[in-house]
Every structure is written in structure tokens, then in C-alpha cells.
Structure 1
Amino acid sequence: MPAPVQLYVYDLSNGLAKQLSLQLTGKQIDGIWHTSVVVFGKEIFYGQGISITSPGQSHHGRPLQAIDMGETALDEETFNEYLEEMRQVYTADKYHLLDNNCNSFTNDCMGFLTGGSIPSWIKDLPADFLSTPFGAALRPTIDNMFRGPAQGGSSAPSSAQPLASSLLQSVAQNATGVQGSTSSYLPTPAATPSPPLAASSSIAGPIQICSNTQHFNNLLSTHKAVIAFFTSHTCPPCRIIEPVFERLASEKASAGVAFAKIDLGSAYGGGQIASVYGVRVTPTFLFFMGGKKTHELKGADAGELKAQVDLLTYQAFPPHPHASLPLRATRSISLEPILFTQSVNFEAVRSRLFSFIDLSALSDERKKSIENSITSTIIPYLKNKADEREGKGKGVNTSISSGAVCEAWRIASKDLIDNLQVKDIFPLADLLRLTLLDNPVAQWCSTTAAASGTSPPHAILERVASALRNEQQIPKPVLLTTLRMAANMFTQTVLARTILVTRSNGHHTSLTTLAISCLLHDDSLVRTAAASLVFNMAAFYQAPRMEALRSGRRGEAEEEGDGEWEVELLSAVLEAIKMEESNEDVLHRLVASLAFLLHLSPFYETQLKPMLEVLEARSTLLAKLEGVEGGFTVSKKEARALLEEVGTKLCG
């Protein structure tokens, strides 16, 4: 008699993913999903091996969803035999949050029971996460937690760690049911773990274990390149070639390249996949690109296997035309953002700001509340931080916490930004510029922006950009302080994401409007600040591309942004370079920005390169080396080297 099959869905992050994902990754991820199969009156899931419990009685508690997956015509005995065989594949030591997890197991079970698969929004989550620069950067950290250190890996950017650590810790503990460590396999009180098996001595994190056609087809659809290893535990040549396959997987697997292992000795699943592709002997390697088989290799030929893997990854992800060029000047440019850290005369700023507040339409009560927050909390806190940066030690108001400052900004900015005239907003922008140098407060701004779409610096950015779009005359102090504040929004990667990656809130357009509008300003200080902001924007996209180039992991650099935006920025930067005739620092920052835009852009061949000739980029840059009549000659050695390199190699 057919038995109903259900899918139980849980969130391993306990809500943290929904709260933090947008600011961390640029994508809204509503949960880190854990799933289990409910059939024959039992809940079966994978964590510390395959575990079985009464429905809803695992350490995960009550499910968020229970999805009906249809019925199975199999009997319970047959399914139990299948589970016993799967215990050899899904052991505790082989668990990996991204590569071999609870959803991999559930998907296999669904394929066996019903011929279907779990929903794509669950099974595609690792690929979606790894397709972001943050996910790619965090991959080595996750590998360290579940596999041990990955060669050449690095942890996530330090600016992201305060938020990422809480999320990762929660997910890792909930995934396996182990509190405080992911490396010790303790029994969970609510579940019955499978008997422990000997740890695999050479398990490779990037390898996907496929035991049914649904899982394998999903792998083909979510990766541009797939290398499938058909093996058997009774095959001596397979044991010889397996370490080579694992090493190649460790070196080359990425968000776009997958390595799959299919055991023909399995009574379930593996033989199905083999029959689809006519595989009858082991070891056999099949190579796929875009879901289509491109090559087949039989036997344990390590040299040929490596050659075919290299060929497939090269064809799937051809190296950037600039990747092999000797670009010493370009690659020596620091990727750190240009920040404006100089302190201010706080008393003068306070006096000017309060005079503007007094002229606003706010009620007397609101004015008093705002002025009190600024006087008693924000300015004393910023004074202390300025003294610390200048080596003067801490002041007398060290008891003020970053939390109190965040609350003070919430109170002060609630009505103030909307009620001040744009021409009067510059003292507030200057205080926010200094505030963003403090990591806890900058993190609060990113969290606030992720939750509501805006924060105090975002609101100022929008006010000034809107005025520029409406062709209002903006005084120099407003432009200068807003540009410097916007540049300091790059102190943290997660905060920068809220203005560059999250396009739906309009901040990306406003930032671009502000920067481009000021590149040709008459005042050199404004041009310097605008060039610095453009540099930070270009460096933001350059950083993950450089990391992918250094690590050699194919298909892992996020191709964020879009070609039209890069063309717009490229055109503005080239025009500014052409017109800059008095300030060498401005010119140097503009050329550095241009280098980042051209170096590893995924849009170089299709959109940027054609524009270079139209805009006469090469001649524009090389002309700066010769000097201009009535202007200036570039004298700094590093600036001249960069001008020549970008002009002859990236624009040639």
C-alpha cells in the first residue's frame, strides 16, 4: 500500500540568515535550510551520520514547514535496506555544510522513494551562496570547520567577521547537533545516530557524492563544468586514481566547477546514473560543460585526467585576457579604501549645526532632544576616538558605548536629515564621516540599512544625490563632506554592499551620481574626494576578482555590477583624466581607478574594450606623460609607471 512522504524544513540559522544575509552577501537568503524525510512514521535526517527519530522529535525541534512530496510504492523493508547502504556514503566524518549535507541526503532519499527531488530553493542554496564574493571568501572558513584547513585558503574578510561568526557558529552547531564544536561527534539526545564508521582518510570537501539521477542532474544544471568519477570499492585502479581526483577537486572545484563521485558498487542510484551514460567499467571519468557530455576517459591515467580537467575548466572559464599580462604597477596598487580620517573642530561644527537646527521647522521638543544627543553622546564619543587615532590616549568620556552612540544617531537623524535644507547638511555629514571610522557604529549602519533600506549616511547620500539630479546648485562644503562621508562608507565590506550591490534601494545610483557629478568640479579638494570615492568603488569589485586570480579557482569571482554601469564609470573617469591639468594626486587616483575597471572586468571584451577606442583612451593617457601646455607634468615615479602600463597594456 502506498505510503505518504513528507519533507520537513528547518532553518539552521534560527532567523539570522534572514536578518543578516542581504548586507553580508547582497542577496536575500531567508534561511539556511535543513531538511529531513518523514516516511513510515519516522523522521530520517543526516548530520552525525544518518539518524532516525519520531517525527518532530529531533534536536532541530518543530519544522518551519512540512511539504507533501507525494507517495512511495516501496515497502519499509526495501527503504531500510537502502538506508543501510547509504550509511557508508553519509557518515559523520563526511558531513560538509556546502558539499555533502542534510539536503544532499534528503534529495537522494526523495529520488529513491518517489523519483522526484527536493525544491530547488533548498538544494540550490549552496550554489547561490558561493556565487557571491562573500560566499567565495567564506568558503575556506567553512572548509576549515568541516574538513580541516584548505590549501591556499583564507578566511572571510575581517570586516565581515563580526556578523559572519555568529551566523556560522549557529549554523554549524545546529547542523550537527554538537554545541561548541563541529569536529567532535557527540550523540544527540533526541535522535538515534547510526553506528560510527571509520573516518575516511582522504575525503575531499569539494567532491559531491551522487547516488541518484536527480542529484546528478541538479549538479549538471547548477554548474557550468562537471567532472564525474565512476568508481567501485572493489576496483583496485580506482583506489590508485582516487587521490589524484580528490587533489584536483580540492584545487579546482568552485561555484562553477563541480566534481562528482558515483559508486557503481552501490545497489541504489549509482548504477542508474551509469546506465544513463553507458558506463560499464571503472574507473571512468565523464566531462560535462553546460550540462552536455564533452569527453570520456577510461582507466587510471593520472596525467590524462589532469590534462582533461585543465582543458574543461579552461573552456568553461577562459582566463581573462589580462590575466597573463605582466602588470606590475596595476597589481601593486593597494586594494584598501581611501578614507578621510582627519579630525575637526568639534565646537565649531556643533555651533554651525545647531544654528541650522534652530532655523528648521522641527518642534522645540525635537530640537532639544536632537541637540542633547549630539552634545552629550555623539561629539564626546567622536572626540575620544579622534584622540585615540592621534595617539593622545583616551579622553574623559570613555564610558560612552558604541551602542549609546548608535541610539543617539537614531534619535538625532530621525527627523533632522529630512528637515535641514541641503545647503545646511554639511556639518552633519562631517560628523557621520568620523562616525563611520568606528567599526561597531559602521556595522550598525549596515544592519540598519539591511533592515530598513537606509541609515543616517544613506539618507544624506540620497538627499544630496537627489538635489544633483534636479540640477540644484550645491555649495562646495556640502559636496566635499558628502563625498568624504561616502568614501568612508567603504570602511566595511558589508556596509559598502548596501550602496553598491543592493540595487533595489537606489543607493547605487545615488552614489554613482554623486561621484561622477563631482569629477570635473572646479575645486581640487572636491575632485580629490570624488576621485577617492571612484577608486573605492572600483577597488570593491577588483578585490574578489584579484582573489580568484590568485587562488586559481575557476568561476568563483562574482561578476557583480553590470556592463552598462562599468561603461558609464569608465567614460566619466576617462573624461576626468583628460580634463585634469593641475592636480597630480587626483590624476593618480583616477588612473588607478581606471586600471581596476579594466584589469579583470568580466565585461572587458564585450563592452569596455570597444569604448576604449571610441574614447581614445590610449592617446589620452600617454599624453599625460608628456605634459600639457600651461598645465603640469606627472612627476611621481609610480604615477608615471601606472599611466604607461594602463595606456599601453590595458588600453592598447
Structure 2
Amino acid sequence: MTSPVKLYVYDLSNGLAKQLSQQLTGRQIDGIWHTSVVVFGKEVFYGQGINITAPGRSHHGSPLQVLDMGETSLDEGTFNEYLDEMRDHYTADKYHLLEFNCNSFTNDCIGFLTGGSIPGYIKDLPTDFLSTPFGAALRPTIDAMYRRPTPGPIPSQAPAAASPDLASSLLQAVAARAQSDISTVSPGAGLGATQTLAAPIHPSTNPASFNSLLKSHRAVVAFFTSATCPPCRMIEPTFERLAEEKGLTSSGHGRGAAFTKIDLGVGMSGSIAQEWGVRATPTFIFYLDGKKTSEMKGADTNELRTQVDLLLFQAFPPHPHTSISTPAIKAISLDPILFTQVPPLDTVLNKQNSFIDACTPWSAGESQAQAKVVLTSKVVPFLKARFAANKSATTDPVAKANSATLVSWAQTTSTLTQVLPVESIFPLVDMWRLAVLDQDVGQFLATLASSAKEQHPIFAFTAKAQAALNDGSAAAKSRGYILTVLRLLANAFCSKSLALLLLSDGLRGGMTSVAVASLLHQDASVRTAAASLAFNAAAYLQKERVQKVQSGSLLDGESENEDWEVEMVSAIVEALDREKENEEVGMW
């Protein structure tokens, strides 16, 4: 036995839309449609949750139209069970005049009862309205009605061509009639469903509401889930946090994404999943301008955050250039160029000790013997243990830098840079060049910069390199020292804390002087090391910018260290113009 299914259609504007739509929107809109389903002798609709009345006895009065939607072979008990299930999803706080409304509910019900859907002119009305300049201008006002945490006046943002008072009054009347389950609403009274902040996630329970969401939002993140999926429950809190952080309710300036949750066991959500080829949960699909850009399966929270940031970056690039497709440039690795070769450490030590012995008279506070003991008994043993060639990367523990060793090494370095000529300390620089590849050493040097700058090896080495480059007569003798210092500075970029130190006001000037002069050096190996240092600095800054752009913290037109960047670029351009000898230099 079958039962007839009717669709009652009401005009929430009471004829005002038909009279004023052409004037306000430039398009004829015959009504602001509210619908309800009439079956089994009762009228069912969504407003303050799911409501049931006798047909034609709701606060909407008599329907403007009654449409025949066919017949259902389901019994009343099955329909009641369906409604009980839907009550958990169609709650008052989720109601939204454009995104999740009475027509979303009736479309689900019609689909469940008959397999059909409500007429297109009804379910597509929000998209049609928002496509007009007037509708687009009123979008923030409508959103505010469903997202404010406490009762209050609805902000009016109607376009200047229309009356703000008229627009606000019309909106208030439409919203009140849509959600109220009583026959009258006091003017200016807060709407019941807006007394608490609605979640920033739009449920989608049928293809019509989902497609409307895709059409009305630039960026959409869809979460396909199910009640029986444990991984879905694991990642759902992350999805909710992202919706709060990067959704339309909090991002401001229209730069957020619409986050929608599609529970495959609710309404016609299975049809959405089928349309987009979703066969497993959790699945996340990311849409830009209504088109699928990427898909993610599984409960990887880091990947989800990365994909959301990427979507927002594509949808709202901070500068027009960032929207240009540059696959070749994006494929370039931003990992630093490092000089990791481990020299024969005993040979390096003997060379440095011979330079110490040859230095007479010795005027520093630390004796020559003390300096040699630090290097022989502390520094070289640490480097041998830390960078042993035959050490297993998986089974052998990494040797840790002892703080006492590093402190005494820094003090000895301060002494040696004061008493030895520039051509006699490159073995010492080479030891540090290797050591800064260790993150603990990098952290130590970053901390030392704020507490004992006068004993800081990098400050001392950079200052002596500047002096050597400025002294033309010492160019030949200082070549090995300058080359090793450049490699040390390049290696420092493997540590974020050291990279920040090199780019800080205290050291950036010295590093820049050394890099710029070395880019024009007569020796090709020096130029190659300088080019590597310049690349590492540029790559580090680019990584920082990309992260800022993706997080939305880099403002339009914002630039860091503009004068310094111009100086570096000018030096690189001149170096490239001069480079005739070494192809490797030009490649960097």
C-alpha cells in the first residue's frame, strides 16, 4: 500500500520578494521559498529543529502552492524512525538561511520517501540570490544572523543602491518566519536559533545542498565520515579546530574556507559520496571554485592541516604572482647546500697545533699548551665520535656535544683568533664547519650569541674574513681561510637557530659583506662557496615566507629586509654576468 507525498510551498517574504526583487537585485525572484513535507496526515518541516503539525496548521498559514511529489511505499513507522535519526542532525543551532535550511530538510525527506527531489527553482534559490550584487553584499549580514553568540541587532551591509532599512527589515522578517514555531515574532527580537554560536561546519545531507555550497564558496573542505568509523572520530576534533581557525566565521575578509561534514549514514549523503567516488572513510576532498583540487584518505592530522593551508593559499593568494603556475620553480629544493665532508681530523689537528707552536711571542691569557690540550683532548675526540665514517645510522648512538667542551672550545677559539694570523686558523674554522652540522652545537652557538658575543666563533671568524677580503695584499694568503669560513656559514643554515642568528641585525651585515665580496673573488672555489651561502639564505627566507603565506600571517605588500635583499641580488646578478670560468658557480 502506498501513501501520497505532498510538498507545501510558502513565501517567507509574503509577496515582498516578487514586488521588490527586480528593484533590489536586478532579477525577478517570485518568492523566498519555505517548504514542508505532508505525508501520513501530518506536515513536517525544519526550523527550530524538526517540527510536526496538522497539514496547513503551522505558523506559516496556508501554503502558496501544493506540489504532488508522488507516492511512498514506506510505512509511517519507518518514516518516524527516519525522523528520529534526523533530529540529531537538523537541530536549531545548525539552521542557516542559505546553507542548511528547511529546503535542505524537505529535499532529504522527499529523497527518502520517493527517491526524488524538490523542484530546482526552490533548492537553487540561495545560489541564484547570491549571484546578484545585492545578494553578495547581504551575505555577511545573513551570516552574522546565524553566527553571533548573543542576541543583538543584525548588522546591515546592503548596497548603497538599496535601502538599508528595507533590506534589514526584509531579512529579519524572512529569518523570523523561517525559524519561528510560533505565529508572531516581536520586532527586533533575537532569533531562537542564534542565541548560541552555531558551529562553523555546514552539514551536507543531499547533493542539492552540497552543490549549492560549492557554488557559493570559493574554497570548500568536505569531510566524508560515518558513525561507525573509528579513524573519523580520531581526526574529527582536528577538523573542527581547523573550521574554527580557518573557516568563514573567524578568518575575516572573506578569505576562509567553507567546511562541510558529510555523514554517509544521514539523508542522501550516500549520493554525494557516489558522485565524487568516495568509497572509504575518512576521506577529505578539497574544492576550489567548485572543482576538486585534491583528495586525502585517512586520519593524518598534519597532512589535513597542510592541505587546508594549501587550498587557502590557492584560493586567496597574497600577491597576484603567487597564483601563477610555476611547477619548475616549485620543484626546486629549498634544503640548504651543506659541506659535509669529514676531513682527516688528526691531520687537521696536527696542522693547527703546528701553527700554535709557531706563534711567538704568545701574548694571550690562555697558554699555548692549554689551547692544544682543549683541541687534542676534547674537540677532536668529540668530532671523531660524532662524525665517525663507520658508524651505523640505525644502531649506533649519536655522540652528544658536552657543554663544558663547547664552552672551553669557544674560549680557545677566541684566544686563537686574537693571536694567530688569518692564514693560520683555517684548520680551526674547518673543525667548527663540521661541528655546526650537529643541532646541539647550533643551539649552543645561538645561545652564546646573547650571553658572550665577544667569545662567539662565528662573529670572530666573520670579522677576520671581512678584514682579509678588504686587504688586497693578503688575498692569496687568506684564500683557504675565506673558503672555509664561507663553508662554515653555509653549514650554519642547517640549524634554524643559527640561521636566525646569521640573518639577525648583529651578524647579517658581516655575513653579507663576506658573501658579496666572495661572489666576485678570483678563485672559483671561493665563488662557489659564496653562491652556496647566498642560496641557503634565500632558501631559508623563502621557506619562512611560504609558511607565513599559507598561515595568512604575511600581509599584502609586506617585505622583510628589503635593502639587504636588493644588495644580495645585485651582487648575484653582477657575479653571474662576470662568471665565465666555472659553470658550477653559475648553476648555484
Q: TM-score range by the shorter chain?
A: 0.3 to 0.5
Task: Please identify the structure whose Cα radius of gyration is greater.
Answer: 2
With CA pairs under 8 Å and 6+ residues apart, which has the higher RCO, 1 or 2?
1
